[in-house]
C-alpha cells in the first residue's frame, strides 16, 4: 500500500530509521502489544494514535528502551536494540509530564546532556543558546523552571532533547496538558522544527485531529494491534476497518445486512432501504449473503436536496427530516433522521446552497460508489467508543 509521503530511496540503515518486527509485550495476563510490526522512515513525522490503553505508550517505551519486549526485534538505524539501555540508543524523549529538572535553570536543563558528554564549556554554551533560540526561548536561559508558563516548559523539554541531536525524538502526548490555543500554536511549531532538523519524530497522541494535522504517517492502534498505518488522508479515504473509519473523522454508520452478492455487486438492506453497491465496497472481509455489517458514509458524501428534487443518474436518494442545522466556519452541518436512523451531512455554505430548516422534509442523495461496508466491531474495540458490540 502506498502510504508514506517520504522521498523514495531511503534505506533502513540511514540515521533515524526504526524497524519494529513482530514485537509483543505482556503484563501478567494482559497482552498490551501483540505482534506489532512497523517501519518508520528517517526524517519522517510519525504519530501513534489510539484510545487510552491501546498500547501506543508501551510501544514508545519499548523503542526508548525503558522496557524490554517479550518477543520480536526493534532496529534503530539498522542496529538491533535488544538489550541496550536507553542511554545507549540514539534517541531523545519528551515526556508527558515533561520531567524537567526543577533544581536547574532553563539553560542548565538544556545543558545537562551536553555536560554528561563532557563537551567544552564554550561549546555547551553556544549549543544551548542555539537551541533555546530554535524553540523561541532566547534570553530565558537563567529562568527557573517554576517561573515558566506551560508552553515555555514544553519548549524547554524539546530543546533539552534536541540539543543532543538525536536521530530520533520520541514524544509521549507532550501537548495533552495545554489549552487548545496554545496547543495549536505548538503543533505548528513542533512540525516546523521537525522539518528544519529532519529528525525522525515519533509522536504519541489520542487526538486524531492533532495526528492528522502533524504527521507524514499515522499509525492507528487499538487493543494492542496496529489497525492501519499510512498517510493521514489515505487513512481517512480508505480505512481498512470500522475502528479506523470511526476513529479518524466523522462517520455515518448504518447497521445493514447483505441481501445478495453477485459478481462485482452486492445489495444491502438497511434503514436507507435497498441499495446496490460495488462488491469492492466491502473492506477487509468477504461479503456473504445474510451477514450483518455496517454501511458507512462520510458526512461530506451526503447531499441534502429539496423534497421535490428528482434523483440524478446513479445516485441513491432517500427521504429524511431535518432535526437540526449548525453553521460551523463556512460549512453547514445538517442532522437528519431517516426513519429511526440518524444521519449527518456537511457541505460548504454558499449562496446557492440548499439550507432546509429544522422540521423540514428533504431528500438525502449519495453516490453508492462512496459507500464503505465493514464488519461490526469486536467487543475490545467497541469499548473505545463507549459502545457494546
Partner 1 sequence: MITQEKSSPGTVLLILPVLVLLVLFFGSVIHLFSNGFYDDGEFSTRYFRQIVNRSDYHMVFLRTVVSSLVVAVLSVVLAYPIALLLWRADRWRNTLLIVVLVPWLVSLVVRTYGWIVLLGPRGVINEFLAWLGIIESPVKLMFNDLGIIIGLTHVLVPFAVISILASLLEIESNLEEASGILGASAFQTFRHIVWPLSLPGAFTALMVIYLACIGAIVTPILLGGMTHNFVGSQIYQEVMYTFNMSKAAAWSICLLGLSFVSLLLLKSIERRLLKGRN
Interface residue list for partner 1 (CB under 8 A):
64, 66, 85-87, 89, 91-93, 95, 97, 99-103, 105, 112-113, 116-117, 144, 146, 160-161, 164
Nearer to partner 1 among residue 95 and residue 236 (C-beta)? 95
Nearer to partner 1 among residue 95 and residue 354 (C-beta)? 95
d(CA 341, CA 331): 23
Residue 68 Cβ vs partner 1, minimum distance, rounded to whole Å: 15
Residue 81 Cβ vs partner 1, minimum distance, rounded to whole Å: 13
Nearer to partner 1 among residue 142 and residue 324 (C-beta)? 142
Nearer to partner 1 among residue 166 and residue 299 (C-beta)? 166
Nearer to partner 1 among residue 109 and residue 215 (C-beta)? 109
Nearer to partner 1 among residue 102 and residue 314 (C-beta)? 102
Residue 381 Cβ vs partner 1, minimum distance, rounded to whole Å: 29
Residue 95 Cβ vs partner 1, minimum distance, rounded to whole Å: 5
Residue 127 Cβ vs partner 1, minimum distance, rounded to whole Å: 14
Nearer to partner 1 among residue 83 and residue 102 (C-beta)? 102
d(CA 280, CA 197): 42
d(CA 217, CA 48): 9
Residue 163 Cβ vs partner 1, minimum distance, rounded to whole Å: 9
Residue 99 Cβ vs partner 1, minimum distance, rounded to whole Å: 4
Residue 87 Cβ vs partner 1, minimum distance, rounded to whole Å: 5
Nearer to partner 1 among residue 98 and residue 178 (C-beta)? 98
State phi, psi for 344 to the nearest 5 degrees: -125, 145
Amino acid at each position: 500500500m502506498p502510504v508514506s509521503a517520504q522521498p523514495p530511496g531511503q534505506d533502513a540503515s540511514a540515521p533515524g530509521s526504526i524497524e519494529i518486527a513482530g514485537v509483543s509485550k505482556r503484563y501478567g495476563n494482559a497482552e498490551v502489544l501483540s505482534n506489532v510490526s512497523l517501519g518508520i522512515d528517517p526524517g519522517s513525522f510519525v504519530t501513534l494514535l489510539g484510545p487510552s490503553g491501546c498500547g501506543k505508550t508501551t510501544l514508545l517505551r519499548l523503542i526508548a528502551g525503558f522496557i524490554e519486549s517479550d518477543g520480536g526485534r526493534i532496529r534503530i538505524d539498522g542496529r538491533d536494540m535488544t538489550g541496550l539501555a536507553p542511554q545507549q540508543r540514539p534517541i531523545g524523549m519528551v515526556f508527558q509530564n515533561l520531567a524537567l529538572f526543577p533544581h536547574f535553570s532553563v539553560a542548565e536543563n538544556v545543558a545537562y546532556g551536553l555536560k554528561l558528554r563532557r563537551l567544552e564549556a564554550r561549546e555547551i554554551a553556544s549549543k544551548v543558546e542555539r537551541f533555546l533560540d530554535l524553540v523561541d526561548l532566547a534570553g530565558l536561559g537563567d529562568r527557573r523552571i517554576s517561573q515558566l508558563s506551560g508552553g515555555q516548559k514544553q519548549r524547554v523539554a524539546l530543546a533539552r532533547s534536541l540539543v543532543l541531536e538525536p536521530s530520533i525524538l520520541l514524544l509521549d502526548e507532550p501537548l495533552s496538558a495545554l489549552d487548545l490555543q496554545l496547543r495549536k500554536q505548538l503543533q505548528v511549531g513542533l512540525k516546523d522544527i521537525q522539518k528544519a532538523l529532519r529528525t525522525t519524530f515519533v509522536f504519541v497522541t489520542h487526538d486524531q485531529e492533532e495526528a492528522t494535522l502533524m504527521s507524514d504517517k499515522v499509525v492507528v492502534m487499538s487493543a494492542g494491534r496496529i489497525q492501519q498505518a499510512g498517510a493521514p488522508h489515505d487513512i481517512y479515504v480508505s480505512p481498512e476497518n470500522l475502528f479506523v473509519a470511526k476513529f479518524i473523522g466523522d462517520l455515518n454508520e448504518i447497521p445493514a445486512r447483505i441481501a445478495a452478492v453477485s459478481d462485482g455487486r452486492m445489495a444491502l438492506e438497511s434503514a436507507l432501504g435497498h441499495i446496490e453497491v460495488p462488491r469492492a465496497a466491502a473492506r477487509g472481509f468477504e461479503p456473504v449473503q445474510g451477514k450483518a455489517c455496517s454501511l458507512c458514509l462520510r458526512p461530506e458524501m451526503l447531499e441534502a436536496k429539496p423534497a421535490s428534487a428528482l434523483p440524478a443518474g446513479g445516485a441513491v436518494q432517500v427521504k429524511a427530516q431535518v432535526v437540526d442545522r449548525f453553521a460551523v466556519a463556512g460549512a453547514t452541518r445538517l442532522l437528519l433522521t431517516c426513519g429511526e436512523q440518524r444521519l449527518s451531512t456537511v457541505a460548504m455554505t454558499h449562496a446557492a446552497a440548499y439550507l432546509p430548516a429544522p422540521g423540514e422534509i428533504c431528500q438525502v442523495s449519495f453516490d453508492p460508489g462512496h459507500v464503505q461496508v465493514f464488519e461490526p466491531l469486536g467487543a475490545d474495540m467497541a469499548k473505545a467508543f463507549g459502545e457494546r458490540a
